[in-house]
Amino acid sequence: MDRNQPSRMPCPVCDDPEAVWMPPLDDYRDVDCPSCGDVHLTGSAETLLNHKKALPGFDKKALSERLRGQPRPEGATRLRVDRDLIVALADGNG
């Protein structure tokens, strides 16, 4: 497998099959999801999403919508998504 090419895999948040994952870099991945938007996913966030059943009240559709609604940093197209953000949004407080 060529790790230098983007690959199409289900979104880690909402399982959208059209999501595109960029090659891994250090401790994060960039994922472009048609539903969640373009995100910059930290390693800890990815780990948490691999165990999303551990998140109380996790609702992938709701989290996807909240991610999409988050303001992007000025001049950036990607939202940085770390563990804390996922926990906050999954809680419904985001």
Q: Which residues bind Zn ion (CB under 5 A)?
A: 11, 13-14, 16, 33, 35-36, 64
What's the rounded Cα separation, in Å, for the pair 56 and 39?
Answer: 22
Output 27 or 61, the one with its CB closest to Zn ion.
Answer: 61
Output 33 or 86, the one with its CB closest to Zn ion.
Answer: 33
Tally of CA atoms within 13 A in the half-sphere of 33 that contains its CB: 26
What's the rounded Cα separation, in Å, for the pair 45 and 81?
Answer: 7
Least separation in angstroms between residue 25's CB and Zn ion is 19
Least separation in angstroms between residue 34's CB and Zn ion is 7
